[in-house]
Amino acid sequence: MRTKQSAPALSLAEHKAAIQKENRRVTSYDVALVAGVSQSAVSRCFKPGASVSKATYARVMKAAAALDYIPNAAARSLITRRTNMVAVIISNLANLAYPEALSELSQHIGRRGKRVLLFTLQRETDIGAVLNDVWQYQVDGVIAAATLTDEQVAEFERRRMPLVVFNRGLRGQAVNTVACDHYEAGHMLVAKLATAGHRIIAIIDGPEDNIVGSERRRGAADKLAELGLPPPVIVRGHFDYASGARGLRDIISRLGHVPDAVICGSDVMAIGCLDYARHELGLSVPAQLSVAGFDAVEPSNWLSYNLTTLRQPIQKMASAAAELLHNLIELGEGEVEKRMFASQFIEGATARLTTLPSVSLAA
């Protein structure tokens, strides 16, 4: 009889009743008492790879199950300095490309035993306000799909908080980045359009503070200049459907006529532009007007649109971001790493991509 007599083991029922009455949580001490072992033994049973005998393990697990015991992650994190939480700061889930990114990030991060603590921003400039919360929660790392100021980046460094910036690669900042080369994408698109003989090319850009749109616009404008084509008419939108329609209207009014092609900062704007051209203006696309977008979001592939666009490899990017952050957390700071992905051109059917036969005949 090796049962402790000094502290007679309470029956399971008594124990549960006591816990209930005192309105406290089930702790490892409770499990230890019921299982007749020490608290540290219980702790070890829940740590993978700890040294526990088969017998002890069995008794502890049985007691734990009986008591509905689950280790308290908050208490654990106090000691281990790991919360197993990763903050994801994301500006606008309405953006159609982001839900997929978030979903992928969540899966990849989950696979590494961590969870996503979500910080959504109404406007991208609100990021300062949420950073304080990020520090409080003691997350293990941060993935930010928003533009950070240099000062904010510096604070991450001061706090030694692992950071990966998603799709906002500021060239100048020494910060780990996973992004798509939006400048190059804009460049490529203009090259394709110019080759097909488009000369008057207009751009519907995103909001002023959005770097993704700006880079795409810069790439496009630079390529136009390089080719000696007229500088583009540029109007601004908010990446949404209505902005696409309004954008085309404004372009035409500024230009006095329909341009050869419109480059839209996002697929949703391209779709808005396309619908407006076809249904409101009665234009034939791409015969009278070429329209192209970016992102290759799902609707761009629908039969009614079949949009000419550039695909961001969102899944690969999410995977890379999760991996990069994981390394940062596990291995500590190394060299600053910037993983750039290229966009893939999707031909679609809303932009004319060969020179007009009539033109070559007439020439």
User: Which helix (H) or strand (E) is 35 found in, with range?
Assistant: helix 28-35
Is 263 within 8 Å of 206 (Cβ atoms)?
no
Kindly tell me which residue out of 35, 41, 98, 232 binds a copy of itself, with binding defined by CB under 8 A: 98
47 binds a copy of itself (CB under 8 A): no
User: Which helix (H) or strand (E) is 345 found in, with range?
Assistant: strand 344-346
| Pairing mode of beta strands 309-311, 344-346 | antiparallel
Rule CB under 8 A: which of 231-290 touch a copy of itself? 241, 271-272, 275-276, 278-280
Nearest to 324 by CA among 170, 167, 164: 164
**Which part of the chain contacts a copy of itself (CB under 8 A), choosing from 1-9, 104-112, 215-223, 247-255?**
104-112
Tell me which of DNA, a copy of itself, none is bound by residue 341, counting a contact when its beta carbon lies within the kind-specific cut-off of 5 to 8 angstroms. none
Among positive and negative, which fits the CA dihedral 323, 327, 329, 330?
positive
**Which part of the chain contacts a copy of itself (CB under 8 A), choosing from 51-59, 77-85, 335-343, 350-358?**
77-85
Q: Tell me, rounded to whole angstroms, the distance of Cα 2 from its chain centroid.
A: 57
Kindly tell me which residue out of 4, 111, 123, 159 binds a copy of itself, with binding defined by CB under 8 A: 159
99 binds a copy of itself (CB under 8 A): yes
Half-sphere exposure of 82 (CA within 13 A, CB side): 8
284 binds DNA (CB under 7 A): no
74 binds a copy of itself (CB under 8 A): yes
Rule CB under 8 A: which of 129-148 touch a copy of itself? 132-133, 135-138
**Which part of the chain contacts a copy of itself (CB under 8 A), choosing from 113-121, 171-179, 193-201, 326-334?**
113-121
Residue 13, exposed/middle/buried by CB under 10 A (0-12, 13-18, 19+)?
Answer: exposed
Residue 27, exposed/middle/buried by CB under 10 A (0-12, 13-18, 19+)?
Answer: middle
Q: How far is the CB of 8 from DNA (least distance, A)?
A: 15
Give dist(CA 256, CA 258) in Å, integer: 7
51 binds DNA (CB under 7 A): yes
Tell me which of a copy of itself, DNA, none is bound by residue 55, counting a contact when its beta carbon lies within the kind-specific cut-off of 5 to 8 angstroms. DNA
40 binds DNA (CB under 7 A): yes
Give dist(CA 356, CA 347) in Å, integer: 17
Give dist(CA 260, CA 78) in Å, integer: 62
User: What is the CB neighbour count within 10 angstroms for residue 113?
Assistant: 9
346 binds a copy of itself (CB under 8 A): no
User: Which helix (H) or strand (E) is 116 found in, with range?
Assistant: strand 115-120
Which amino acid, residue 160?
A: R
266 binds DNA (CB under 7 A): no
User: What is the CB neighbour count within 10 angstroms for residue 54?
Assistant: 7
Q: How far is the CB of 41 from DNA (least distance, A)?
A: 3
Residues of the shown chain interacting with DNA in the complex, contacts defined by CB under 7 A:
24-25, 27-29, 37-41, 43-44, 46-47, 51-53, 55-57, 69-72, 75-76, 78-80
Tell me which residues touch a copy of itself (CB under 8 A).
25, 68, 70-75, 77-78, 81, 83, 85, 88, 92-94, 98-100, 102-103, 106-107, 110, 115-120, 122, 132-133, 135-138, 155, 158-159, 241, 271-272, 275-276, 278-280, 298-299, 301-305
